[in-house]
Amino acid sequence: MKALLLHDKGQWREMKVEETETPKPGTDEILVRVKAAGLNPVDYKTGQNGSPAWSYPHILGLDAAGIVEETGSDVTDLQKGDRVVFLADMARKGAYAEYIVTKAHTVSKLPDAVSFEEAAALPVAAYTAYQALFFKLHIQKDKSILIHAGAGGVGGFAIQLAKYAGLKVITTASSANHEYVKSLGADLAIDYNEDDFVEKTKRFTDGLGVDYVLDTVGRDNATKSLKALAFNGQIAFIAGQPEMNESINFAHPISFHHVALGSVYQSGNRAEELTLKVMGDHLVELLAEGKISALVEQTIPLQDVPKGLEELETRKVKGKIVAVID
């Protein structure tokens, strides 16, 4: 099969499409012919640092959508020809290839109304947002949330899902992206280059602060975000934990939630792996019904993935970039 091969850590910019061996599915796995694969910052980050679990040449790519080509002997609920989407296992060879193997119980089927390109935008970004909002924060209607980096993948899906759930949504984004994030459902957009998001958030919430924060930026930003939380507020973070010790205050109690979607395959916890399918099923349904957008801003051929990852590295990409694999 053809695949975009990473020959050693740090060499992701030099990846080229080459021939490599087609994988074989295990008894509880499926072989999928990849039709589209989403790009994510985790790809260039892991491509730079490598992993002890990898053998080289490695194949990056965690967002996968395609057609079932072969099923393992124990797989009963999927068959050849099914259209599917799933989050790939970071420890195994990924989706920037013609074929990929994955565990059958983590896969969501696609209706004809959802394209492969739309589906491939979901797993890393949308599943992360979904897990943070519904499984960690347990968001409730009429509450308020501050979502950082709303123009990005996780932030963009989080805005849409929070609005779908009936929340008041505040987000941070550059002024050039304010109309974009408002089109996704944000009630207030704050320019992180110009404004103090704590002050603006407090003003918008009559001095009380928000009920929830989703931080996708980093440790310092997450720590500052604690000041924007209301009494009994909650923060979910994916890019570095806030400073907790000095934040534990009897007079202003708050709760912390660590979101780390990609490590589920290494947990050995099948029940948690099954939540990938649960999230995927609901997100695909919302896409098919037009209740959320897939945020696809660019589609590119497989050979242009390194350039796409370089764009992501600038942290100025809006929405999602998806590679189309013929």
Q: Which of 207, 238, 259 is the last residue of a domain?
A: 259
Band of the pLDDT at 315, cuts 50, 70, 90?
A: confident
Residues 69 and 115 in one domain: yes
Q: Which of 207, 225, 259 is the last residue of a domain?
A: 259
Peptide linkage before 57 cis (omega within 30 of 0): yes
Residues 72 and 148 in one domain: no
Residues 301 and 252 in one domain: no
Residues 316 and 199 in one domain: no
pLDDT at residue 202 above 90?
yes
Domain containing 56 equals: 2-122+267-324
Question: Please, what is the Cα angle at 63 between 273 and 290, to 5 degrees?
Answer: 95
Residues 29 and 112 in one domain: yes
**pTM of the shown model:** 0.96
Residues 271 and 309 in one domain: yes
Residue type, 2: K
Nearest 5°: phi and psi at 312?
-60, -35
Q: How many CB atoms lie within 10 A of CB 31?
A: 20
Residues 228 and 290 in one domain: no
Residues 167 and 79 in one domain: no
What is the distance between the alpha carbons of residues 64 and 89, in angstroms, rounded to a whole number? 11
Residues 170 and 199 in one domain: yes
pLDDT of 31:
98
Residues 147 and 243 in one domain: yes
Residue type, 31: L
252-300 pLDDT, tens digit per residue, is: 999 999 999 989 999 999 999 999 999 999 999 999 999 999 999 999 9
11-67 pLDDT, tens digit per residue, is: 999 999 999 999 999 999 999 999 999 999 999 999 999 999 999 999 999 999 999
pLDDT of 156:
98
172-185 pLDDT, tens digit per residue, is: 999 999 999 999 99
Band of the pLDDT at 247, cuts 50, 70, 90?
A: confident
Q: Based on the structure, what is the number of domains in the chain?
A: 2
